[in-house]
Chain A
Amino acid sequence: MGEPILSVSGVYKSFGHVQALKNVSFTLNKGEVLGLVGDNGAGKSTFIKVLSGVHKKDGGSINYEGKEVDFASPKDAIAAGIETVYQDLALAPDLPIYSNMFLGREMVRPGLLGKLGFVDKQAMRDSVLTNITKLKATLNHVEQEVGTLSGGQRQSVAITRAVIWGKKVIIMDEPTAALGVEESAKVLDIVNEIKKHGITVIFISHTIPHVMEVSDRICVLRLGETVADLKTSETSYEEVVQFITGSKTQINRK
């Protein structure tokens, strides 16, 4: 089904002596959800940071929308329609919720004031409020400083931000890590919802049942390498876990 939006092959990346990524490869169709799984330190976050322009890859290729890309900065990835919920959330704790959601793309006032960079705080507050309500996020005061929010609420801010701006691809690095049962379920709902809008999602989680529930494909990383690139409908919880732990490899599957 569908046309490929992202095709990654042989991506590698090292930090000094640490080879974080050795060979990451997978293909993903437009509007699909990819579950990216693997043990701690497998390279999931490093890979998505390469994809979102935080790190530069040392080699391999990333083909996005039919073009070879190598984002030099997060700005480039954002411009290409890729939004990311980072594992560390990448929020500014001293700024209020609404400023965080509009960070780097603040709404400006109409006319000359706007040209001078005057922001339209009221419009931003209103817009954020609408989105919070739409996504049923448990944030009740858009003026609240992010540093004073609970861990789960912070995660909500980061997720909401990505959903508001994500035009083509939304990457979520462990978006449910700090969330309770109910909140996690909401995030899965959100993933299903954005998928309906034809947006492609990369979903990273250690909670395999969550991944099985929302994903169309699953890519398993182990020690920086893709060890399995599976259709979710053709695999099982047990098999995914076996790939993660290394008790099964793609070769002996065939």
Chain B
Amino acid sequence: MTGKTDTNIKQTFANIVTDYWIVLVFLGIYLVFVILEPLCLSLPFWGSTFNYMAEILILGVGVMFVVITAGIDLSIGPVEGAVGVAAGLTIRSLLPVVGNGWAIIAGSAVGLLLGLLIGFLNGIVITKLKLAPFIATLGMSVILTGTGYILNNGLEVVGLPRVMGKIGNFTIMGFMGFTTIIALFATVVFGVLLKQTRFGIHTYAYGSNAESAKRAGIDVDKHIIRVYMISSGMAALSGVLLVFRFNTGSPLAGANVTLYAIAACVIGGTSVMGGRGRMIGTFIGALIIAILVTGLVMLGVQTYWQQVSTGLIIIFAVYADQIRQKKALK
């Protein structure tokens, strides 16, 4: 009774196309780039694409949990900035006392814990003060932007150990950077969390119908707090990694990425109405956004066109998804 009674090959193929059509969109875009500029086939092209994708992907993986609960986290970009500055300052002040290694570890830990704390606060404001996620995280985002500047008088934190840059820009096989490796690892880990665990099921359930989740006996407040901690924690991870990559802690980091991360989720099929979304989709979404940048740069097109094209893809992807769902419900 549970087995697929329909083994019709045509039907199966149609299912794959409807399920993974966004992969085809990606391949289509790539194909156009390759035809127009064969250098897009090169390893360095993929290297810079992955490099660009990594940050969006790490943020996207985290914020996706929030989006699936029908929430939103507008503070992820500012978390990156504030965490970067805080981590940088911690490292710099500990350097003379404990040496490079421990200072870097302590600074990274402070950054990550700060991220988790911010997520916890977001969660508390949303569940206990009952503010809409949009408002709560909008407020937090403005607070953090200010804090990022206050911490170091609006300046970048420089003078960090060189070795950080070495780690941050470490590359294997000529195209897989340190951040990319972590991003891919995080995608797999959180993909499994979402798909295979009670935590994942409860995330979908809450987004599908919050009241039903509560009536099923799920401690929804606790769950939501954890979801915002994941979102903010991943943003903090990204912030720390940026400090490694650029060897500075900049309050400007993360100024533009929040909406790109959410766009990656949405392009990949995560519904802002909640209850739906797959990790593979978010990965492809981030990849599409990244390849639009590197591809257009390769073609010598002004990068502003990348923003225009990303916007078009968002609208197109969500529209196509709506059509697909209407079909499924018929």
Contact = CB atoms under 8 A, between A and B. Distances in A.
Interface in B170-217: 196-199, 201-202, 204-205, 207-209, 211-217
A66 interface: no
B268 interface: no
A118 B209 CA distance: 22
A125 B2 contact: yes
Nearest to A99: B201
A95 B194 CA distance: 13
Interface stretch (A139-147, A217-225, A228-236): A139-147
B208 A74 contact: no
B2 A143 contact: yes
Given A74-B216, A129-B1, A148-B328, A91 B201 contact: no
Nearest to B212: A90
Interface string A121-136: 0000100010000000
B37 interface: no
Contact of A94 (B2, B211, B215, B275): B275
B218 A104 contact: yes
Contacts of A54: 215
Interface in A137-157: 140-143, 147-148
Nearest to A76: B217
B278 interface: no
A96 to B, nearest CB: 10
Interface string A49-60: 000101000000
B2 A142 contact: yes
A74 B217 contact: yes
Contacts of B204: 92, 94-95
A67 interface: no
B51 to A, nearest CB: 32
A99 B198 CA distance: 10
Contacts of A129: 1-2
A92 B273 CA distance: 13
Q: Is the interface of B mostly helix, strand, loop or mixed?
A: helix
**Residue from the set B198, B199, B211 with the largest chain A CB neighbour count within 10 Å:** B198
A86 interface: yes
B215 A90 contact: yes
Contacts of A78: 217
B329 A103 contact: no
Given A125-B2, A141-B1, A141-B2, A91 B217 contact: no
B209 A106 contact: no
Nearest to B274: A94
Contacts of A75: 217-219
Interface of A: 52, 54, 73-75, 78-79, 84, 86, 89-95, 99, 103-106, 108, 116-119, 125, 129, 140-143, 147-148
Top 10 closest pairs, chain A to chain B, by CB = A94-B275, A104-B216, A92-B208, A94-B208, A103-B216, A75-B217, A117-B197, A104-B217, A90-B212, A90-B215
Given A92-B275, A99-B205, 18 more contacts: A75-B219, A79-B217, A90-B209, A90-B215, A92-B205, A93-B209, A94-B204, A94-B276, A95-B208, A108-B198, A117-B197, A119-B197, A129-B1, A129-B2, A141-B1, A143-B2, A147-B329, A148-B328
